[in-house]
């Protein structure tokens, strides 16, 4: 039954992926080409970064930052994926009501998306990690351990998300068990000299060459497997959401003109989604944790600001990513209303970008007040937020995240990751030559931001005007 169920769900998810590629063959080909070329470029980038850091890590602070930064980002991504996981309902009413075990349902639902995510992202992650570690005392095996540690952070973030969901739904044995595991994690990290990293502190030491790299690789792989199995069990036993009791509410004051402004309407639709609310809260929480960890480690400015703001960005990017799905689900309303399509598209894009900016601003204000940050650093983070939001709008328009299946959601996330890689390669290759011609850096940054946001809005307009979803 388990193998038959996995095979059936895998066939359905692969059929959807082929349909998405057939509907947009040119973007699919571009993404495939970018993913094929990305490992080579990222390997070169890793070697360059490793050469700059080699010999400068006398106290282990740099190695710790190399491990901690990607771990926080991956944990935020894992929490977002777990919050948006539809659970048993993704199998449909007939299978969900049939004699299918909870663990079997979760495994069948996530098998193809997880495999696709590994195929898409792991080569690039390995390329940059191995290239960086090859220039450090730990060597290439330490780079593989770093990649395994970053991979293990994805189910770690998912476990944290399950703890929050269980707490909200008053299923209290899960938070107690997870907190006990977190205490064991921190205790193991304290023994190794880095409580937040837990047993993955061995990766930091392996990069420095103070412990065998093979031992760090084995521990990282074991942690990844254990956390993945833990999340499967937690997701399989996730409690159902509690129904809200009826409460009489006073009549609201009608909006002038009889209708709500389009940006507020789209913002309200996005804010009603529980996954966006929880992910935004998680982004703020992980960002504040990054600030606290960087501050306790004595990291100089602007490290706390950069770590906290970029970590928050990884969680808040879900809001613009879902704008395309919101427009597709309500196409009949947007196309039948008295407002022009370009107005709806601009308003939806503004609402999505605002949803991504808000958590980053909240974390950035705290970080700037705690450790300070130069205006140039603030500008760099602002450019990352705007560019990332534009790419998220584009990915959500090309592959709308409007299905209830994990395959549909993971496809959208994979498209965003591929576009981010492609944009990074393009900017990294073209920007130095443009700056060498005498164009100011600020003008290049503004142009990149405008291109990303403009491309996202154009794609949203074409998706809203399409006849099919």
Do the beta carbons of residue 231 and residue 223 sit within 8 Å? no
| Mean confidence (pLDDT) of the chain | 81
- End-to-end CA gap in the chain: 33
Q: Which residue has the higher pLDDT, 360 or 432?
A: 360
Do the beta carbons of residue 302 and residue 377 sit within 8 Å? yes
In the block, which residue shows the tokens 């359905």? 12
pLDDT at 1: 47
In the block, which residue shows the tokens 């399989």? 236
Of the candidates 26, 161, 11, which has an alpha carbon nearest to the alpha carbon of residue 80? Answer: 161
Considering the chain, what percentage of its residues have pLDDT values greater than 90?
20
Of the candidates 420, 421, 360, which has an alpha carbon nearest to the alpha carbon of residue 388? Answer: 420
Of the candidates 144, 137, 114, 156, which has an alpha carbon nearest to the alpha carbon of residue 53? Answer: 137
User: Stretch 13-30: mean pLDDT, rounded?
Assistant: 74
User: pLDDT digit string (tens) for 200-244?
Assistant: 999 999 988 889 999 999 999 999 999 999 998 998 888 776 655
| Confidence band of 246 (pLDDT split at 50, 70, 90) | very low
Tally of residues, the chain: 469
Burial label, 278 (beta-carbon count in 10 A; 0-12, 13-18, 19+): buried
Report CA-CA distances (Å) from 404 to 4, 96, 331, 407: 21, 13, 18, 9
| Confidence band of 176 (pLDDT split at 50, 70, 90) | very high
Alpha-carbon span 188 to 146, nearest angstrom: 18
Helix (H), strand (E) counts: the chain: 19, 0
Is 260 a residue whose pLDDT tops 90?
no
How big is the chain by its Cα radius of gyration, in Å? Answer: 22
Alpha-carbon span 69 to 462, nearest angstrom: 37
Alpha-carbon span 304 to 18, nearest angstrom: 43
User: Stretch 37-56: mean pLDDT, rounded?
Assistant: 80
Alpha-carbon span 133 to 206, nearest angstrom: 9
Considering the chain, what percentage of its residues have pLDDT values greater than 70?
85
- Highest mean predicted confidence (pLDDT) among 32-36, 149-153, 171-175, 250-254: 149-153
Do the beta carbons of residue 225 and residue 206 sit within 8 Å? no
| Confidence band of 357 (pLDDT split at 50, 70, 90) | very high
Q: Which of 149-153, 197-201, 208-212, 262-266 has the lowest mean pLDDT?
A: 262-266
pLDDT at 469: 44
Burial label, 412 (beta-carbon count in 10 A; 0-12, 13-18, 19+): buried
Alpha-carbon span 316 to 287, nearest angstrom: 11
Do the beta carbons of residue 146 and residue 203 sit within 8 Å? yes
Is 258 a residue whose pLDDT tops 80?
no
Alpha-carbon span 114 to 82, nearest angstrom: 12
Alpha-carbon span 311 to 260, nearest angstrom: 33
Structure tokens at 310: 């970029």
Alpha-carbon span 70 to 305, nearest angstrom: 15
CB atoms within 10 A of CB 22: 9
Is 250 a residue whose pLDDT tops 70?
no
Alpha-carbon span 406 to 402, nearest angstrom: 11
Q: Which residue has the higher pLDDT, 200 or 435?
A: 200
Which residues, at least 6 apart from 258, have a Cβ–Cβ distance to it below 8 Å? none
Is 384 a residue whose pLDDT tops 80?
yes
Containing H/E element for 226?
Answer: helix 213-236
In the block, which residue shows the tokens 């760090």? 216
User: pLDDT digit string (tens) for 436-449?
Assistant: 888 888 898 999 99
The 3-state DSSP class for residue 286 equals helix
Structure tokens at 160: 């944290």
User: Stretch 175-188: mean pLDDT, rounded?
Assistant: 91
CB atoms within 10 A of CB 96: 13
CB atoms within 10 A of CB 429: 10
User: pLDDT digit string (tens) for 278-292?
Assistant: 888 888 988 888 888
pLDDT at 165: 87
Q: Which residue has the higher pLDDT, 15 or 218?
A: 218
| Confidence band of 185 (pLDDT split at 50, 70, 90) | very high
User: pLDDT digit string (tens) for 303-341?
Assistant: 888 888 888 888 888 889 888 888 887 776 766 667 778
Is 404 a residue whose pLDDT tops 60?
no
Alpha-carbon span 202 to 149, nearest angstrom: 10
Q: What is the DSSP letter of 403?
A: -
pLDDT at 30: 75
């Amino acid at each position: 039954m388990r193998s038959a169920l996995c095979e059936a769900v895998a066939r359905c998810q692969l059929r959807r992926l082929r349909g998405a590629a057939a509907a947009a063959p040119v973007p699919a080909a571009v993404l495939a080409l970018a993913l094929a070329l990305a490992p080579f470029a990222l390997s070169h980038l890793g070697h360059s970064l490793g050469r700059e850091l080699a010999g400068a890590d006398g106290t282990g602070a740099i190695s710790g930052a190399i491990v901690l930064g990607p771990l926080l980002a991956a944990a935020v991504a894992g929490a977002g994926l777990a919050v948006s996981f539809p659970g048993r309902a993704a199998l449909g009413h007939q299978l969900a009501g049939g004699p299918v075990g909870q663990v079997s349902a979760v495994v069948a639902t996530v098998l193809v998306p997880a495999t696709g995510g590994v195929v898409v992202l792991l080569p690039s992650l390995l390329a940059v990690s191995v290239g960086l570690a090859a220039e450090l005392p730990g060597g290439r095996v330490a780079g593989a351990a770093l990649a395994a540690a970053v991979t293990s952070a994805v189910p770690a973030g998912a476990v944290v998300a399950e703890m929050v969901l269980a707490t909200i739904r008053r299923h209290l044995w899960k938070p107690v068990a997870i907190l006990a595991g977190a205490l064991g994690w921190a205790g193991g990290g304290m023994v190794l000299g880095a409580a937040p990293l837990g047993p993955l502190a061995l990766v930091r030491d392996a990069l420095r060459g103070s412990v065998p790299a093979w031992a760090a690789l084995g521990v990282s792989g074991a942690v990844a497997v254990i956390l993945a199995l833990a999340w499967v069990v937690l997701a399989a036993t996730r409690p159902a959401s509690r129904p809200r009791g009826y409460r009489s509410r006073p009549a609201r004051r009608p909006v002038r003109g009889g209708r709500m402004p389009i940006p507020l309407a789209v913002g309200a639709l996005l804010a009603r989604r529980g996954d966006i609310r929880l992910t935004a809260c998680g982004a703020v929480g992980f960002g504040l944790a990054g600030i606290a960890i960087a501050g306790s480690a004595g990291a100089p400015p602007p490290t706390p600001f950069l770590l906290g703001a970029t970590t928050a960005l990884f969680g808040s990017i879900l809001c613009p990513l879902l704008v395309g799905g919101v427009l597709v689900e309500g196409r009949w309303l947007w196309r039948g209303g008295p407002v022009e399509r370009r107005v709806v598209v601009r308003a939806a894009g503004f609402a999505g970008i605002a949803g991504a900016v808000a958590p980053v601003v909240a974390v950035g204000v705290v970080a700037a007040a705690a450790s300070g940050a130069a205006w140039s650093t603030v500008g760099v983070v602002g450019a990352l937020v705007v560019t990332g939001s534009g790419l998220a709008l584009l990915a959500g328009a090309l592959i709308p995240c409007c299905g209830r299946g994990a395959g549909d959601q993971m496809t959208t996330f994979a498209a965003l990751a591929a576009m981010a890689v492609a944009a990074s390669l393009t900017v990294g290759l073209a920007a130095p030559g443009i700056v060498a011609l005498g164009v100011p850096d600020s003008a290049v940054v503004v142009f990149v931001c405008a291109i990303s946001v403009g491309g996202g809005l154009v794609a949203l307009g074409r998706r809203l005007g399409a006849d099919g979803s």
